[in-house]
């Protein structure tokens, strides 16, 4: 059975996912770039451990970027901060409770290269994905969302993809980006090869064909997409440099300097959502939503990503409502 996707803001996502994890009967598969316990995430982390203790299969994978994000390190080998020690304690608790826990990305010496940027949570036949919410305090505070979809076929496919990604990471290799149809929608997945992104290629193709494009991301558009957006009737939303700190602030400043793009987003809350809306010449409306920042830098660095391409008017309507909230 398939139920239309429902957009959940970060707090609603964490609350709903924790509830369903506690009710899980057969399986839980959780994947996020950043996973750390805190006031906003404790309940979901508790739910994962408690469900594993009930002998339900629980798989959790997080990128070692977690340590860099919490500790402010460029290299993922310095795990000595207070927050980093708490994260190590969390991973040990997972393992002790029976969670099949994996740190991804250990083979990459620099923390911004080859990262697993995908976010999803599969509980039995319910999927939470195609958004950007990371499971830690700051991630819950960001302006972001996840989609909830009840669909056993999609759940099966994402769990197969989880195992493929896990094998690739353990073996120290990447795989070609690819897509598969799911009903009338397309699921796009980047497998981590440097310079290879089906998601970025697809948004460039659609931008070149569209009569109007709406762009939403944490970063200023870059690369070929930036050039195409300048030639198209477009609305562009990304963070002002003042919203970010550290390397994120520098990246946004450089992006603005190199491209000349200006942002329509003027709020102080950090924008972490990533989606694009395309109005096509034949009247169709297409959305691409997921984990990809639509930045050429991520393509060059070989990040693993997921996105949903859809013409579902219910999805597009929910994204437009989200857009009204961030631009109000």
User: In the prediction, which pLDDT does 113 show?
Assistant: 57
Q: What is 165-204 written as a DSSP string? A: HHHHHHHT--B--EEEEETTEEEEEEEB-TT--HHHHHHH
Say how far residue 26 (Cα) sits from the centre of its chain. 25
Mean pLDDT for the chain overall: 92
CB 262 within 8 Å of CB 252? no
User: Per residue in 182-208, pLDDT tens?
Assistant: 999 999 999 999 999 999 999 999 999
Non-local (6+) Cβ contacts of 187 within 8 A are 154, 157, 179, 180, 181, 306, 307, 308, 309
Q: Is the dihedral of CA 193, 195, 201, 207 positive or negative?
A: positive
User: Per residue in 267-285, pLDDT tens?
Assistant: 999 999 999 999 999 999 9
Please say if the pLDDT value at position 320 is more than 50.
yes
User: In the prediction, which pLDDT does 1 show?
Assistant: 41
User: In the prediction, which pLDDT does 76 show?
Assistant: 47
Q: What are the structural domains of the chain?
A: 2-171 (3.30.870.10), 178-327 (3.30.870.10)
Please say if the pLDDT value at position 111 is more than 60.
no
User: Per residue in 149-194, pLDDT tens?
Assistant: 999 999 999 999 999 999 999 998 999 999 999 999 999 999 999 9
User: In the prediction, which pLDDT does 107 show?
Assistant: 73
Q: Is the pLDDT higher at 266 or at 81?
A: 266
Q: pLDDT confidence of 106, banded at 50, 70, 90?
A: confident
User: In the prediction, which pLDDT does 241 show?
Assistant: 96
Angle at 267 between CA 242 and CA 239, to 5 degrees: 50
User: In the prediction, which pLDDT does 323 show?
Assistant: 97
Non-local (6+) Cβ contacts of 138 within 8 A are 69, 270
Please say if the pLDDT value at position 73 is more than 70.
no
Q: Hey, what long-range contacts does 178-183 have (CB within 8 A, 24 or more apart)?
A: 182/151, 182/153, 182/154, 182/157, 183/2
Alpha-carbon distances of 22 from 16, 44, 149, rounded to whole Å: 10, 9, 18
Three-class SS state of 6: strand
User: In the prediction, which pLDDT does 87 show?
Assistant: 87
User: Per residue in 213-253, pLDDT tens?
Assistant: 999 999 999 999 999 999 999 999 999 999 999 888 999 99
Of the chain, the percentage scoring pLDDT greater than 90 comes to 83
User: Per residue in 78-93, pLDDT tens?
Assistant: 555 677 788 889 999 9
Which of the residue ranges 64-73, 74-83, 148-157 would you say has the lowest mean pLDDT? 74-83
User: In the prediction, which pLDDT does 68 show?
Assistant: 78
């Amino acid at each position: 059975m398939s139920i239309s996707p429902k957009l959940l803001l970060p707090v609603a996502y964490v609350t709903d996912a924790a509830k369903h994890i506690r009710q899980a009967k057969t399986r839980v598969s959780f994947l996020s770039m950043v996973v750390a316990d805190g006031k906003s995430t404790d309940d979901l982390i508790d739910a994962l451990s408690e469900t594993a203790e009930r002998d339900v299969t629980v798989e959790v994978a997080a990128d070692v970027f977690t340590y860099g994000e919490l500790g402010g390190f460029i290299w993922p080998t310095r795990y000595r901060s207070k927050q980093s020690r708490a994260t190590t304690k969390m991973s040990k608790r997972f393992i002790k409770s029976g969670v099949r826990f994996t740190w991804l990305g250990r083979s990459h010496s620099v923390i911004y290269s080859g990262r697993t940027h995908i976010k999803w949570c599969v509980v039995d036949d319910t999927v939470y994905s195609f958004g950007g919410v990371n499971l830690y305090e700051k991630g819950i505070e960001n302006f972001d969302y996840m989609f909830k979809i009840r669909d056993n076929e999609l759940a099966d496919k994402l769990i197969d993809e989880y195992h493929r990604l896990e094998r690739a990471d353990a073996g120290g290799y990447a795989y070609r980006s690819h897509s598969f149809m799911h009903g009338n929608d397309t699921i796009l997945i980047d497998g981590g090869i440097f310079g290879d992104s089906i998601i970025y290629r697809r948004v460039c193709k659609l931008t070149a064909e569209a009569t109007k494009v709406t762009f939403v991301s944490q970063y200023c558009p870059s690369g070929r997409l930036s050039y195409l957006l300048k030639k198209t009737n477009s609305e562009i939303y990304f963070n002002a440099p003042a919203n970010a700190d550290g390397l994120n602030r520098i990246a946004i400043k450089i992006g603005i300097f190199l491209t000349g793009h200006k942002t329509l987003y003027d709020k102080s809350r950090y924008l972490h959502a990533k989606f694009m809306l395309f109005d096509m010449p034949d009247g169709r409306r297409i959305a691409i939503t997921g984990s990809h920042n639509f930045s050429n830098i991520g393509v060059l660095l070989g990040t693993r990503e997921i996105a949903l391409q859809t013409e579902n008017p219910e999805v597009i309507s929910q994204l437009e409502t989200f857009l009204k909230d961030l631009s109000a």
